[in-house]
A and B are shown apart, each in its own frame.
Chain A
Amino acid sequence: MQITLTVNGTQHTLDVPENTLLVEIIREHLGLTGTHVGCDTSQCGACTVHLDGRAVKSCSMLAGQVDGASVTTIEGIGTPEALHPMQAAFRECHALQCGFCTPGMIMRAIDLVAEQPDLDSKAVRAGLEGNLCRCTGYHNIVRAVLHSAGSDQGGAP
């Protein structure tokens, strides 16, 4: 099937099989490998991207569902030279170790802060329910999100 979607501001028209997942479009057709696949039951959140501005799991979306949509991936929010504030907060708070869950975690965290600006530690922890990290014990991820949200609870990075 032919679909048209905008990824990180660039419009693409692609011819893909109907059973193609959004994450496959992103990784394999567009070569944007920052979005990761960590499970096959839609729980780990490593594949999280923004679909029309909201965090979704790109492993659980079909090509047809994103026809006409706008998708933002980790590559679309900042660069090493001009980091998104959430990316910077993750670095400053040591909120990543192996880096595999990180893109999905950052994409969800941005969405979380946008939908709930008055976050505290408990709300961040609840808000990250859909993202698994095996390295950090979440401690520094929570700090990074709070820091980025401008909460006092984040403390100094």
Chain B
Amino acid sequence: MSSSAATATGIGASVLRKEDLRFITGNGRYTDDLNQPGQSYAVFLRSPHARARIIGIDTREALKVPGVFAVLTGADMAADGLGDLPCGWEVKQKDGSDMVRAPHPPLAINVVNYVGEPYGVVIAATRAAARQGAEAVMTDFEEREPVVDLATARDSAAIHDGVPGNLAYDWELGDRAATEAALASAAHVTRLDLTNNRLIPNAMEPRAALGVYDRSGDEYTLYTTSQNPHLERLVLSAFVQIAPEHKLRVIAPDVGGGFGSKIFVYAEETTVVWAARKVGRPVKWTADRSESFLADAHGRDHVTHAELGLDADGNFVALKVETTANLGAYLSTFGSSVPTYLYGTLLAGQYRTPNIHVEVHGVYTNTCPVDAYRGAGRPEATYVVERIVETAARELGQDPAALRRRNMIRPEQFPYETPVALIYDTGNYEASLDRALELVDYAGFPARRAASEAAGRKRGIGFACYIEACGLAPSQLAIQLGAGVGLYESGEIRVNPTGSVTVFTGSHSHGQGHETTFAQVVSDRFGIPFENVEVVHGDTGRVEFGLGTYGSRSLAVGGSALVKAADKLIVKGRRIAAHMLEADVDAVAFEDGQFVVRDSNQSLAFGEVAFAAYVPTNYPTDLEPGFSEKAFYDPQNFTYPAGTHIAEVEVDADTGVVTLVNFVAVDDFGHVINPMIVDGQVHGGVAQGAGQALLEHGIYDDYGQLVTGSYMDYCMPRADDVPDFVVDTTVTPCTHNPLGVKGCGEAGAIGSPAAIMNAVTDAVGSNDVSMPATPEKIWRALAG
């Protein structure tokens, strides 16, 4: 850290966000705000059935609707040679074979496999005409028996040819024999069956896309709601083969939240950019919320059996987990990795459990594809570990905090290699636990419980001591584990001749505040005013490359790339300064924005050196002019944020209503660049976790119709569903990135469901409550 750490805008300061001024005044530019001359509108033809053969599509009436330009189908797309939407992560099965991929054309061709699956598109001069055209398309479906229920999917008829038992993969991690042996000899075994409810992401901005084709340069531009525009371009070029990368520009302007759902490459963006050339006009599509419910990749949806063995002293000796994960009808972009490498690897949690084995059955069903949603695998792992640990404590009559403390990896044990393939670099789990116990006033809980009871309500407290693996990811390791791309990040810093700085990052901000945080990092590094740094992101035409924002990776990986680029500039600046000051380069240091000659009073300001690089009169002859550098940063390891979340709930026994009355989150994110932003990330994550625990559930009926397809039935957390949150941080700096940062975007959603459900089951006195803990479920649990 430079010494400007203590400044109002440096690292560690709660700088107000640069991006806010445009958002609070209505000047944001989201995809649907953009229009192109002569643009047309797309409305998709979507399957009304969960599973059917398409016998025929009669477009004649639709083409007669005034304003309709074209009706295009999956067959048209195939005829143009477009490829499938790929799944970017190969999962090896336990027998060593590859996972079984089902064909996934962007627009369905002969069969449809979930309600809402697009199989065609109507393009018209107005949205109304496109909609009228879509209603006029007559599609003849032959319905087939859908496979909807996860528990019985493996015994049901195969959805896809060549996928018996609807099994995409059987995957395992850890030592089964050792784990089973340790369980067999354990003094106590706690067994638990859990479901992790299907969630529907619901970023407030629905997905949108605007495809443009420019005949003069044979170039395509796609404006879209993406968390990773370069990855989108890569997939559309290399796999779908719409256009080569140098002829396709993807721009993700302001994006209204993502939470994972905007990582993936979907049919709709693919279609509009392809169709723009076919119809000879820009093509725009903006999802209705109803479409978002049906066709944005969903999250979670696991059924799990877990067993935890403890010795007579309460030490964990083994954890065995078997999970059936719903992948939906097709493998989405990263759908295969979420219930495997982002889940099984986290089952050690914060504990020294020596034997762990996990087996995951990845299953196809006739439902919307399931992929990463805030936390992606790690909330599911935390839910298993922290629910079973809490249950064990109750079965053994032990204090749940004490049982956890006894089993935590201790600070002196880092780096710590878990039985499930990760090496945690650093942490101090007890520090977070202690702080959380203090903030929640754990000692005062019995009195609070008594007060609640006196008022006729039941009160419960629940813990979650979570770990996550963030900062995805060391490329070699990721590729070894099946990733189709490296997971480094790029950054470029252009210092302009006048000393202002334009920063280009391959990360993408859709609420996280990169324009502020990254500007803090760079201004701090250079000792220049925060206001002089502008951050550019989200445009493949301006940013060289990038992997985007997900998995709490932006600062740890993208921020590190910027530090690396900045350090290259400092090296160059020292050479320039040494020349100008006629000093030896080794004698020139960079401090507080000044290139100084040690043991002298000679120095040059950052801006003076930058100017000299562009007006190289007094300049080294063997050095290129200009003052800009780029860097790719490939992390050496994951980062491991961890912390303790504690929830307190009150339950109204007459109605079953659960009220979250107190929530404390103490997280170790390593160094914090902007505490205000970090706190905000935790607040949002906790509310989403509270939504999962208490309110949200994506439900399909037996026919595969989505029952919770609007805000009338899918319960989003509102302001009065959550309390004021108490958040704090502890710090053990990450050991392997230059900022010592770990990532904070998902922690709230990872720890909170387990903490809240532990509190709910504590209050109710029954462990047999599944998420979401809706009033009727609780009422029934209390009625026995």
Direct contact of A and B (CB under 8 A): yes
Residues of A within 8 A of B (CB): 27, 32-41, 43-44, 46, 73-75, 78-80, 83, 87, 90-92, 94, 96-103, 106, 121-122, 124-126, 128-129, 131-142
Which residue of B is nearest A99, CB measured? B23
Q: Beyond the given A41-B712, A135-B680, A137-B688, could you list 13 further A-B residue pairs with CB under 8 A, ordered by the A residue number?
A: A33-B32, A34-B28, A36-B204, A39-B710, A73-B26, A74-B24, A98-B257, A99-B22, A101-B256, A103-B24, A106-B24, A137-B683, A138-B683
A97 & B684 in contact (Cβ 8 Å cutoff): yes
B725 & A134 in contact (Cβ 8 Å cutoff): no
B719 & A125 in contact (Cβ 8 Å cutoff): yes
Interface size class of B (residues with CB under 8 A): 35 or more
Alpha-carbon distance A33/B28, docked complex (angstroms)? 8
Q: Which of B20, B259, B688, B712 contacts A91 (CB 8 A)?
A: B20
Chain A residues lying within 8 Å of B33, measured Cβ to Cβ, are 27, 33
Chain A residues lying within 8 Å of B679, measured Cβ to Cβ, are 94
Alpha-carbon distance A135/B716, docked complex (angstroms)? 12
Chain A residues lying within 8 Å of B712, measured Cβ to Cβ, are 41, 43
Is B720 among interface residues, defined by CB-CB distance under 8 A?
A: yes
A91 & B24 in contact (Cβ 8 Å cutoff): yes
Alpha-carbon distance A125/B720, docked complex (angstroms)? 5
Is B686 among interface residues, defined by CB-CB distance under 8 A?
A: yes
A136 & B289 in contact (Cβ 8 Å cutoff): no
Alpha-carbon distance A13/B614, docked complex (angstroms)? 54
Some 29 contacts from A to B, beta carbons below 8 A apart, are A33-B29, A37-B206, A38-B289, A40-B710, A74-B24, A75-B26, A78-B25, A80-B22, A80-B25, A83-B25, A87-B24, A90-B24, A94-B676, A96-B23, A96-B24, A98-B255, A100-B203, A100-B204, A100-B257, A124-B719, A125-B719, A129-B718, A133-B204, A134-B203, A135-B204, A136-B684, A137-B683, A137-B722, A138-B687
Is B480 among interface residues, defined by CB-CB distance under 8 A?
A: no
Chain A residues lying within 8 Å of B27, measured Cβ to Cβ, are 34, 75, 80
- The stretch that binds A, out of B273-281, B509-517, B699-707, B755-763, is B509-517
What's the nearest-Cβ distance from chain B to residue A94, in Å? 5
A138 & B719 in contact (Cβ 8 Å cutoff): yes
B255 & A103 in contact (Cβ 8 Å cutoff): no
Which residue of B is nearest A79, CB measured? B25
A99 & B19 in contact (Cβ 8 Å cutoff): yes
Chain A residues lying within 8 Å of B725, measured Cβ to Cβ, are 137, 139
What's the nearest-Cβ distance from chain B to residue A16, in Å? 12
Alpha-carbon distance A109/B680, docked complex (angstroms)? 19
Which residue of A is nearest B691, CB measured? A134
Alpha-carbon distance A138/B22, docked complex (angstroms)? 20
Write the B13-44 contact mask toward A (1 if CB under 8 angstroms, else 0): 01011011111111111101100000000000
Chain A residues lying within 8 Å of B206, measured Cβ to Cβ, are 37-38
B257 & A135 in contact (Cβ 8 Å cutoff): yes
Chain B residues lying within 8 Å of A43, measured Cβ to Cβ, are 710-712
Is B534 among interface residues, defined by CB-CB distance under 8 A?
A: no
Alpha-carbon distance A77/B27, docked complex (angstroms)? 13
Is B205 among interface residues, defined by CB-CB distance under 8 A?
A: yes
Q: Which of A38, A80, A91, A106 contacts B205 (CB 8 A)?
A: A38
Alpha-carbon distance A48/B43, docked complex (angstroms)? 26
Which residue of B is nearest A132, CB measured? B716
Most buried by A among B256, B681, B688: B256
A132 & B28 in contact (Cβ 8 Å cutoff): no
Which residue of B is nearest A92, CB measured? B16
Chain A residues lying within 8 Å of B680, measured Cβ to Cβ, are 94, 97, 135-137, 139-140
A141 & B25 in contact (Cβ 8 Å cutoff): no
Alpha-carbon distance A142/B748, docked complex (angstroms)? 19
Is B143 among interface residues, defined by CB-CB distance under 8 A?
A: no
Is B202 among interface residues, defined by CB-CB distance under 8 A?
A: yes
Is B724 among interface residues, defined by CB-CB distance under 8 A?
A: yes
What's the nearest-Cβ distance from chain B to residue A44, in Å? 6
Q: Which of B16, B24, B710, B724 contacts A139 (CB 8 A)?
A: B724
Interface positions, chain B 248-285, Cβ under 8 Å from A, are 254-257, 259
Is B3 among interface residues, defined by CB-CB distance under 8 A?
A: no
B724 & A121 in contact (Cβ 8 Å cutoff): yes
B16 & A134 in contact (Cβ 8 Å cutoff): no
Identify the 9 closest CB pairs spanning chains A and B, nearest first: A34-B26, A100-B256, A99-B23, A137-B687, A98-B511, A137-B683, A97-B511, A74-B26, A33-B33
B512 & A97 in contact (Cβ 8 Å cutoff): yes
What's the nearest-Cβ distance from chain B to residue A108, in Å? 11
Chain A residues lying within 8 Å of B16, measured Cβ to Cβ, are 91-92, 94
Is B573 among interface residues, defined by CB-CB distance under 8 A?
A: no
Is B751 among interface residues, defined by CB-CB distance under 8 A?
A: no
Is B417 among interface residues, defined by CB-CB distance under 8 A?
A: no
Is B288 among interface residues, defined by CB-CB distance under 8 A?
A: yes
Alpha-carbon distance A37/B31, docked complex (angstroms)? 12
Q: Which of A37, A91, A142 contacts B719 (CB 8 A)?
A: A142
Chain A residues lying within 8 Å of B259, measured Cβ to Cβ, are 134
A98 & B204 in contact (Cβ 8 Å cutoff): yes
B24 & A134 in contact (Cβ 8 Å cutoff): no
Is B290 among interface residues, defined by CB-CB distance under 8 A?
A: yes
What's the nearest-Cβ distance from chain B to residue A136, in Å? 5
Q: Which of A94, A99, A124, A140 contacts B254 (CB 8 A)?
A: A99
Given the contacts A39-B289, A40-B288, A137-B748, A102 and B24 also touching, CB distance less than 8 Å? yes
Chain B residues lying within 8 Å of A46, measured Cβ to Cβ, are 204
Alpha-carbon distance A3/B412, docked complex (angstroms)? 74
B24 & A98 in contact (Cβ 8 Å cutoff): no
Chain B residues lying within 8 Å of A75, measured Cβ to Cβ, are 25-27
Is B677 among interface residues, defined by CB-CB distance under 8 A?
A: yes
Alpha-carbon distance A46/B257, docked complex (angstroms)? 13
Q: Which of B23, B710, B711, B722 contacts A102 (CB 8 A)?
A: B23
What's the nearest-Cβ distance from chain B to residue A49, in Å? 10
What's the nearest-Cβ distance from chain A to residue B167, in Å? 34
Is B211 among interface residues, defined by CB-CB distance under 8 A?
A: no
Alpha-carbon distance A119/B724, docked complex (angstroms)? 15
Chain A residues lying within 8 Å of B686, measured Cβ to Cβ, are 137
A99 & B683 in contact (Cβ 8 Å cutoff): no
What's the nearest-Cβ distance from chain B to residue A48, in Å? 12
Chain B residues lying within 8 Å of A132, measured Cβ to Cβ, are 204, 711, 716, 718
Q: Which of A73, A134, A139 contacts B204 (CB 8 A)?
A: A134
Alpha-carbon distance A24/B206, docked complex (angstroms)? 16
Alpha-carbon distance A100/B711, docked complex (angstroms)? 17
Which residue of B is nearest A121, CB measured? B724
Chain A residues lying within 8 Å of B74, measured Cβ to Cβ, are none
Chain B residues lying within 8 Å of A32, measured Cβ to Cβ, are 26
Alpha-carbon distance A52/B722, docked complex (angstroms)? 32
Is B685 among interface residues, defined by CB-CB distance under 8 A?
A: yes
Which residue of A is nearest B27, CB measured? A34
Most buried by B among A32, A83, A94: A94
Which residue of B is nearest A73, CB measured? B26
Write the B712-732 contact mask toward A (1 if CB under 8 angstroms, else 0): 100011111010110000000
Chain A residues lying within 8 Å of B710, measured Cβ to Cβ, are 39-41, 43
Alpha-carbon distance A38/B27, docked complex (angstroms)? 17
Alpha-carbon distance A96/B33, docked complex (angstroms)? 19
Which residue of A is nearest B513, CB measured? A97
Chain B residues lying within 8 Å of A131, measured Cβ to Cβ, are 719
What's the nearest-Cβ distance from chain B to residue A133, in Å? 7
A139 & B683 in contact (Cβ 8 Å cutoff): yes
Chain B residues lying within 8 Å of A142, measured Cβ to Cβ, are 719, 724
